Amino acid sequence: MLRAWAPQHSLAVLTRNPDKAHLPEGVQAVGWDARTLGEWTHSLENADALINLAGEPIAQRWTPEVKRRLWDSRVKTTELLAQAIQRIATPPRVMLQASAIGIYDQSPDTVADEDSPAGAGFLADLGKAWEAAAASVQERGVRLCWMRIGVVLGAGGGALERMLTPFKLGVGGPIGSGKQWLSWIHLDDVVGAAAFLLEREDLSGAFNFTAPNPVTMQEFAKTLGRVLLRPALLRVPAFALRWMLGEAAEFLLQGSRVLPKRLQDAGYPFRYPTLETALRSLLGSE
C-alpha cells in the first residue's frame, strides 16, 4: 500500500515488518498489524492518495483455512483502511483499491467489461465483498477507483515465472482445453494505469486492468513457445491441475475474456497491448 502522490513522489508503505522492509531510498516504512487501528492512521492524514494492494496469493489450494486468509487479507484489511479514513481529519483525495477480474463470470463464453454483472462462486463473492469494503470512503469525499486486475505478467516472479520452467525444458503447452481466455496485463501497464487514474480527477468507479488483447490459453502457450524458441505441444490436463490446486484450478480452466473498456475510453495508452510484445520485453527478446 502506497500513500501520497505529489510532484516529488513522496511515498510511504504500510508494512507488518518495518524494520525488515527493503524499500527504495526515500520511501518511508510505516508499521501496522493490518487488524487494528493505531498510530499508523496518522500516516493517512493529508495524503494525496492511498493505494491498497493487500491480499494473500490466490494461486494455492483453497482449503477452508486458505479461503479464510484470502478473505481476511482482502476484505478485512480494506475495511480497516476505510475505518481509518472515517476517523482522520483530512482524508486522501483518491483511493485506488485493488480488486480482480474474478468478480466476473468465469467461462470461455463470457466477454466482460466494467458494465458486465458479477458472476457467482467464491471468487466473485470475494470480489464483491472486497470492493464493497472500500465504498464508505466516498462518504468522506474520497474519489474511489477499483482496479480489477487480471493475470499480471512481470519478470522475476508471479504467473509468468511459474509457467517458464516447463517451456524451457521443452515440455510446455496449454492448460486444460486451451479454449479458456487469459486476460493478462504487463506489470508496466498496471503501474502506468494506476498513475493514470491518480492524475485523472474526473475518473472513478471500476476499471479493468487487463490488456486490450486477451488470448486463449492455446494462443498464450503458442506465443510463449515462439518467444522462447521452444515447443508448446504438451497439454497440461485439467485433472492434473485439479489434483494440484483443487477448487482454485477452476480459475485457470474457465478464464473469461475481460476487456479494459473504461481505461481505453479515458485514453490510457497501453505500452504493451499485445502478448508477444509483452513477453519479448519481459524475456529479453525484443
Sign of the C-alpha dihedral computed for residues 273, 276, 282 and 285 taken in this order: negative
CATH number at residue 103: 3.40.50.720
How many residues are there in the chain?
286
Name the β-bridge partners of 95: 50, 144
Number of domains in the chain: 1
Segments of the chain assigned E as strands = 2-3, 12-15, 28-31, 49-52, 94-100, 111-112, 143-149, 151-153, 181-182, 184-186, 205-209, 215-216, 257-258
Q: Could you say which DSSP state residue 132 is in? A: H
- Secondary structure letter of residue 117 according to DSSP: P
For 128-151, how does the pLDDT look when each residue is reduced to its tens digit (9 = 90+)? 999 999 999 999 999 999 999 999
Contact indicator for 12, 30 with CB cutoff of 8 Å: yes
The answer on pLDDT for 229 being more than 60 is yes
Q: Are strands 12-15 and 28-31 parallel, antiparallel or unpaired?
A: parallel
What mean pLDDT is predicted for residues 149-176?
81
Residue 203 CA to residue 281 CA, distance in Å, equals 30
Q: How far apart are CA 282 and CA 185, in angstroms?
A: 12
- The pLDDT, as a whole number, for residue 8 is 58
Between 249 and 88, the more confident residue is 88
Q: What is the pLDDT of residues 8-48, one digit of tens each?
A: 567 889 998 888 888 888 888 999 999 999 999 999 998 99
Q: Tell me what pLDDT residue 76 has.
A: 97
Structural domain that includes position 43: 2-282
Average pLDDT over residues 255-272: 96
Asked if 66 and 113 count as a contact pair (C-beta separation under 8 A), the reply is no
